[in-house]
Amino acid sequence: MPNSQPSFEVLPRDLSAYRRGNTGIDYVHRIDSGKAGPHVLINALTHGNEFCGMVAVCHLLDNDVRPRIGTLTMSFANVAAYQTFDQANPFASRQITHNFNRIWSREWLDGNEDSVELRRARALRPAVAAADHILDIHSTSEDVVPFWVYPRYERNAVVASALPQPGVHLVMPSGLGSGTPLIQHGSHGQEDGPGAALVVECGQHFKQDTADIAVAVTLDLLGHFGLIEREPAAPTTSRRFELLRTHVIANENFAFTRPLIGFETFARDELIATDGPAEVRAPCDECTIFMPARTPVVGREGVYLTRPLD
């Protein structure tokens, strides 16, 4: 059932050994092969309780994975939130003040507001901007199938479709509608951007399978760009969904009409949730739900409404 207390197969590890990198930015490590090739950024811990990315980046660092060509950058993003993790309240360490994955616009980064997340994003901005290709590794509150998330640019679809997993793609024709994610920072958010910038949602936060998928996707992507030797696997048959609307919660009494974990479908105009006096209804037939809020919080995203493209 949704909202049950999760089991913990993966828990945080001490990252202090990786605090000092070689880029002048804490927790950011860069290895240049000395040979021409793409610059790939593997980013973990955009949210502090999404441990699978931590496992994937630690796998690269622990095993001294070095690129054959190009440049590999590895980063742990919101370490401050990660360090607040409390197993008794495991979803609270997602962020401290701001959603780190919604503040990557010039307005936020060059603005006057201050927070742990904004200071960290400002510090990481050069590392993100320098990359040709970005893999931002995430996980989900509920136990749903893994999926890609990316702006609807051909360069993103080509890379995601070439990799063996995940087989579900959430494409964003106009962004999220609730802020600017890391993968749309600067030129990566433009039609003529430098390369692929993808989020991979690997599964439920604390499952070992989720961490295993994060490692596999990371290695697959590095193999795809030639940074490591990796036998290519055949991609799976994909299912694509288009983001139609992101509903941001406006009232404390926001409630779904029935328990949801994600990937449920609704008929056109069917009631999905109430948000104070407002009703959230399906804008199309076969409207498919992504990432319904586990615990509604005013000002945060309540649900993504999508339609199948295939």
Cβ atoms of residues 29 and 117 within 8 Å: no
Residue 303 belongs to domain with CATH number: 2.40.50.630
Residue 10 lies in a domain: no
Domain end among 158, 193, 224? 224
Over residues 106-143, the pLDDT tens digits come to 999 999 999 999 999 999 999 999 999 999 999 999 99
* Domains: count for the chain: 2
Q: How far apart are CA 193 and CA 190, in angstroms?
A: 5
Looking at residue 14, what is its pLDDT? 98
Residue 41 lies in a domain: yes
> Same domain for 218 and 248?
no
> Same domain for 202 and 255?
no
What are the structure tokens assigned to 76, written together?
Answer: 């742990």
Looking at residue 11, what is its pLDDT? 96
> Same domain for 174 and 84?
yes
> Same domain for 251 and 303?
yes
> Same domain for 303 and 203?
no
Residue 2 preceded by cis peptide, ω within 30: no
Residue 174 lies in a domain: yes
Looking at residue 222, what is its pLDDT? 98
Looking at residue 93, what is its pLDDT? 97
Domain end among 224, 252, 285? 224
Q: Is 265 exposed, middle or buried (0-12, 13-18, 19+ CB in 10 A)?
A: middle
**In Å, what is the CA distance from 303 to each residue of 32, 99, 126, 177, 280?**
40, 15, 32, 12, 9
**Residue-number span of the structural domain to which 264 is assigned:** 244-308
Looking at residue 5, what is its pLDDT? 73
Residue 42 belongs to domain with CATH number: 3.40.630.10
Ranges in the chain, pLDDT < 70: 1-4
Looking at residue 1, what is its pLDDT? 40
Beta bridge partners of 242: 171, 307
> Same domain for 188 and 42?
yes
**In Å, what is the CA distance from 5 to each residue of 143, 170, 287, 294?**
12, 27, 28, 11
The 10 Å CB-count burial string (b at 16+, else e) for 168-191 is bbbbbeebbebbbbbbbbbebbee
DSSP 8-class letter at 298 = T
